Amino acid sequence: MQHVTTSAAPAAPSLRRTLSAYVGLMKPHVTVLLLGVTLAAMAVAHNGTLPGFGVVLATLLGGALAAGSANAINCWWDRDIDLVMTRTRTRSIPAGKVSDAHALIFGVSAGVLSLVVFSVFVNFLSAALALGAILFYVIIYTMWLKRTSTQNIVIGGAAGAVPVLIGWSAATGTLSWGAFWMFMVIFLWTPPHFWALSITIKKDYARAGVPMLPVVKGDAETYRQIVLYTIILVASSLALYFIHTLGVLYLVTALVLGLGLLALTVWLWQERTMRRARMVFWFSNYYLALLFAAMALDRIFH
């Protein structure tokens, strides 16, 4: 008598794996940084304190949902190139963890829920800013600029700078020059940060047909632009002191961190190695986090 062996049906994905796949669509490492600068903006706008716990919680929740919405829709739109690039082929959609349709539904739903949270528990200005950031990131950056222009990161970086405006408006109900200059810091930080990364994965971008600066203009021009933008970034970061939004603690921190970042970018320009590019990329993360922490601390002890 022959024994017939049958393979067991594949087990359904666990709840933890499913949740992890959807959280991955939101790009949590990026979202956490955005929430950090939002919180710092709230502290600066509110004179070193924070508004009520409910407003803070709603702002961070709404911000996480807005960022997650934009990132999830970005993952849905870019699923074809994500499959081609080594760095992104393990993301939830190309890895088959989330279907195309479910990713889009998740992204849109998160965006709608974000607007509800901001409108009901914060204010309409914050809701409008969140909506603007989502639409800008999805339509202007993801659907248009990313695949058509070397200025994709430069212009698209505006979406990533909106969280400081949201934080400021959530704390005060208005916007001011301080909020504008905090916005400019992130806006100017984005190009050198991502260009340093793009140098290290230039072949990935070329394979996917994404016109990042080093792919189209070459490494030499990218190094030059990184240094140029870093100089403008460091100079602009000092404006928060000169318009009397922040004090000496922030000024000293901005100078130390800025000169450190500038030194690394000049070093990269001179040596032009992948190791130096990775150093600039990683240090720029710490630069932004520490700079915004210094903003909050300056207002606390001002």
Contact 42, 56 (CB under 8 A): yes
Cα 243 to Cα 245: distance, rounded to the nearest angstrom: 6
- 238: three-class secondary structure by DSSP: coil
Radius of gyration of the chain (CA): 21
Q: Are 137 and 159 in contact (CB under 8 A)?
A: yes
- Give yes or no for residue 47 having a pLDDT over 90: no
Model confidence pLDDT, tens digit, residues 236-286: 999 999 999 999 999 999 999 999 999 999 999 999 999 999 999 999 999
Domains in the chain and their CATH numbers?
176-302 (1.20.120)
Q: How large is the average pLDDT for residues 100-115?
A: 97
Structure confidence at residue 13 (pLDDT): 63
Question: Mean pLDDT, to the nearest integer, of 161-184?
Answer: 96
Say whether pLDDT at 1 is over 90. Answer: no
Residue 1, classed as helix, strand or coil, is coil
What is d(CA 153, CA 171) in angstroms, rounded to the nearest whole number? 29
Task: Write down how long the chain is.
Answer: 302
214 pLDDT higher than 80: yes
pTM comes to: 0.92
